[in-house]
């Protein structure tokens, strides 16, 4: 199946009130696990490749592998540059066949964020590539500490969201409503009222970053209030690490000739289970058939 852009994959989710999970790809174990989960649950899926991870992976080889897996899996798939920060990286992603670009201008001034996001939109429109923008600041950062908290002063402003969408022409908007990257330090307290107001005010799908640590009930509340894409990585990473920690101390397993390969197989199974659980929570199970 050919890759879908973000506008296409989220349009269906918005119409049928479910969210598409956006899961980060850092190696073949993660990629295979996500596609196995998507295939078994018949869920549409977004594969994220984050700019912050590019020092550790080859974007060209990784994108080639993802596109081949998408063809084999036969489920609706979007390949998304996650938290793109620089124009050279965005142009590289375009060259690699990405179908979506998430430009993160949240650290810029409001005016700069509008200007640079609009520039990315104008570039991507030439290639039928969707663009996701971010307004407000999600707690933590993808390359920082594992635990973080949200700052209420940096939550997405409703009136600014309307203006931002109109001025940039983006296809999806990532919002800050108490969500954070990494593990939440303490108990997440999402501003559902603010989210509902943003959903009512703008016409495009909304995105939740920093999905790890949020309860199933709260996830479903966000979906009811317009969230159509949920980024999820830390939970996958923690599942992988827990699997490795368990197998490292398994003396019987360590005596096997294929010890490492068996460890990686268990890592993949752990990630797959975590991803499948999130797809269930996001209500995307068996929604692949909605895409025709």
For the annotated catalytic residues, the residue numbers are 82
Distance CA 258, CA 83 (A): 37
Instruction: Please name the residue that has the structure tokens 């109109």.
Output: 166
Cα separation, 216 vs 207, in Å, equals 16
Q: What is the DSSP string of 236-268?
A: HHHHHHHHHHHHHT-HHHHTSTTHHHHHHHHHH
Query: Is 234:204 a contact under the CB 8 Å cutoff?
Result: no
Paired tokens of 132: 């996701």
Task: Classify 138 as helix, strand or coil.
Answer: coil
Burial profile 153-169: b = 16 or more Cβ within 10 angstroms, e = fewer: eebbbbeebeebbeebb
End-to-end Cα distance, the chain: 11
Supply 245's token pair.
Answer: 């920690």
Q: Rounded to whole angstroms, how far apart are CA atoms 227 and 150?
A: 18
- Alpha helices (runs of H) in the chain, residue ranges in sequence order: 6-16, 28-41, 59-73, 87-95, 110-125, 158-168, 192-201, 216-224, 234-248, 251-254, 259-281
């Amino acid at each position: 199946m050919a890759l879908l852009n973000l506008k296409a994959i989220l349009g269906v989710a918005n119409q049928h009130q479910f969210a598409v999970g956006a899961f980060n790809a850092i190696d073949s174990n993660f990629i295979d696990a996500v596609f196995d989960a998507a295939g078994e649950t018949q869920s549409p899926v977004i594969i994220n490749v984050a700019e912050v991870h590019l020092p550790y992976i080859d974007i060209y080889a990784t994108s080639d592998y993802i596109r081949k897996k998408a063809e084999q899996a036969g489920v609706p798939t979007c390949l998304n540059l996650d938290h793109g920060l620089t124009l050279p990286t965005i142009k590289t992603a375009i060259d690699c066949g990405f179908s979506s670009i998430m430009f993160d201008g949240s650290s810029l001034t409001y005016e700069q964020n509008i200007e640079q996001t609009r520039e990315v939109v104008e570039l991507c429109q030439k290639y039928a590539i969707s663009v996701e923008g971010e307004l407000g600041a999600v707690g933590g950062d993808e390359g920082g500490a594992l635990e973080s908290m949200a700052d209420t002063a940096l939550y997405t402003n409703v009136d600014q969201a309307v203006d931002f969408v109109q001025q940039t022409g983006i296809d999806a908007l990532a919002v800050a409503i108490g969500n954070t990257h990494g593990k939440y330090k303490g108990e997440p307290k999402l501003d559902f009222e603010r989210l509902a107001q943003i959903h009512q005010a703008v016409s495009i799908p909304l995105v939740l970053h920093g999905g790890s640590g949020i309860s199933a009930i709260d996830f479903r509340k966000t979906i009811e209030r317009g969230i159509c894409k949920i980024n999820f990585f830390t939970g996958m990473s923690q599942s992988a690490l827990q699997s490795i920690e368990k197998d490292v101390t398994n003396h019987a397993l360590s005596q096997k000739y294929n010890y490492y390969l068996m460890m990686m197989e268990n890592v993949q199974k752990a990630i797959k289970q975590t991803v499948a659980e999130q797809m269930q929570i996001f209500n995307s199970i068996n929604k692949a058939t909605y895409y025709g």
